[in-house]
Amino acid sequence: MGIIPNKENDEQLSILFIGAHPDDADIQFGGTALKYLQQGHTVNYVSMTNGDAGHHMQGGGALAQRRRRESQRVAEFMGIHYIVLDNHDGELQPTVENRHKVIQIIREVKANLVITHRPNDYHADHRNTSLIVQDAAYLICVPNVVPFTPRLTFNPVIVYHQDRFRKPYPFVPEVIVDVTDTNDKKFEALSFHESQVYEWLPFIEGYLDEVPTTSEERLNWLKAKWSPMFNTSSFVADLKASADTLNGVQYIEAFERCEYGGKLTHENVKTLFPFGIVNF
């Protein structure tokens, strides 16, 4: 499948973000991904759908191809592999076929850490992606499931990325990553998803008339518009870290433990998040 494999090196991590759409990983994980890459770890992004419904003027195969090109530009810019599966946007289902695809990918990259959506989310594709990952978790180690792809002898740790949803329970920031130093490059990468950040999302959220026309103005606008979503103040009430620890931390990406798969513990958290602030 053209996936970057994890090298047989105990010091190198294989990090896998499994999202529903091309751009989900970039939005929720881009700053943290860059920090892993800076330390020599491998990063793979997966989009469970091809994004063929996410636009107000394009759709179908043409849009899917455009969004795949955008994803590959991100991959080249960051030095990662971006896997876009050919499921229709808005129609993702937690089928056995999709579960098997996820099991195969997790095994092939020998993922140590998997990041995905929480199961309570506004978008059905996000919820079903989360369910697919949860359903795959135990089976990753079962040899008679997807038998042509050798099983893993360990169960990867699964975490959820941050969100703002409150029911049935709100997101709990259990690991915080300071992405202040990677925020600019994160948004450079995100800007390659032009169909989304400069067209579709501004249209559907009602601020299309704000989008500048030149590339430089657009990038500066995007940073100013979206960076506040990741401001430390957004989660300050939930953070146990001292003021000294958080001094100078302007932007964060936060993660919550999933109870399926391998467990994130006080013993392994600093290995899996070597730059993380532990908040549990």
Residues 7-54: tens digit of each pLDDT: 444 679 999 999 999 999 999 999 999 999 999 999 999 999 999 999
* Residue 185 maps to a domain: yes
- Number of separate domains in the chain: 1
What pLDDT sits at residue 1? Answer: 44
* Residue 59 maps to a domain: yes
* Residue 254 maps to a domain: yes
Cα angle at 58 between 66 and 226, to 5 degrees?
70
CATH of the domain at 68: 3.40.50.10320
Report whether pLDDT(66) > 60.
yes
Average of pLDDT values for 268-278? 95
What is the rounded CA–CA span in Å between residue 239 and residue 264?
18
Average of pLDDT values for 220-240? 87
* Residue 216 maps to a domain: yes
* Residue 107 maps to a domain: yes
Cα angle at 154 between 153 and 157, to 5 degrees?
160
Banded model confidence at residue 246, pLDDT cuts 50, 70, 90? confident
Highest mean pLDDT among 10-24, 158-172, 184-198: 184-198
Residue-wise over 259-279: b if at least 16 C-beta within 10 A, else e? eebbebeeeebeebbeebbeb
Query: What residue numbers bound the domain in which 61 lies?
Result: 14-278
Residues of the chain with pLDDT > 90: what percent? Answer: 90
Report whether pLDDT(191) > 60.
yes
* Residue 8 maps to a domain: no
Report whether pLDDT(208) > 70.
yes
Q: Which residues pair with 161 in a beta bridge?
A: 255
Banded model confidence at residue 240, pLDDT cuts 50, 70, 90? confident
Report whether pLDDT(223) > 70.
yes
* Residue 227 maps to a domain: yes
* Residue 4 maps to a domain: no
